[in-house]
Amino acid sequence: MRPLSSRVRVAALLAGSLWLAVPAWSRSDPAKPGEQKGDKEKPRLNLMVDRSVGFTPVTALFTGHLTGVDLHDPNFCHAAVTWIRIAPGQSEEEGYRIKEDPVCLHPKEEVSVATSFTKSFTLVQPGSYLVRLIVEGKDGTRVESAYTRVQVLTNQ
């Protein structure tokens, strides 16, 4: 078996020995095929969860890390953050959305960009949940994470 490239992350599902290969890049990934190393890094958003499988109810803590953004970029100072949670049986359009849209209340010379975002969800219905994080700059630039999956099992 050929080893997987570093461009692929492997996610294991606890349903038997099924393994899925999932691309590690999202739409905003700076290292997509065809780009050169010398190019300026584009913003990326990596979303992780503290547990990917559990018995109902599952409290899952999601953490997003924003990279490729200058820590003093006024465009991303207090950026809008949207969490999308898709429950079992829902479509992306029906998913639960939480939008946090803070405003800058400090002088222009005190710009500070948050690069870490956390949200906790308690998942009670058995099935597979998907969560995505979107960070949007003041100019409308959107950085989206890939979906992160949590499998909720019943105790029966």
For residue 9, what pLDDT is reported?
32
Taking the C-alpha atoms of residue 49 and residue 52, their distance in angstroms, rounded to an integer, is 7
Q: Which two tokens stand for residue 154?
A: 């019943």
Taking the C-alpha atoms of residue 44 and residue 18, their distance in angstroms, rounded to an integer, is 29
Q: Are 48 and 131 in contact (CB under 8 A)?
A: no
Q: Read off the pLDDT of residues 3-34 as tens digits, 9 standing for 90 and up.
A: 433 333 333 333 333 333 333 443 444 444 44
Q: Read off the pLDDT of residues 114-124 as tens digits, 9 standing for 90 and up.
A: 999 999 999 99
Q: Read off the pLDDT of residues 67-113 as tens digits, 9 standing for 90 and up.
A: 999 999 999 999 999 999 999 999 999 999 999 998 888 888 899 99
Q: Which two tokens stand for residue 44?
A: 């990326």
Taking the C-alpha atoms of residue 120 and residue 106, their distance in angstroms, rounded to an integer, is 28
DSSP E strand stretches across 14-95: 19-23, 44-49, 53-55, 58-67, 80-86
- Three-class SS state of 16: coil
Which domains occur in the chain, in start order?
A: 35-153 (2.60.40.3880)
Beta-ladder partners of 58? 123
Q: Are 60 and 75 in contact (CB under 8 A)?
A: no
Q: Mean pLDDT score of the chain, rounded to an integer?
A: 81
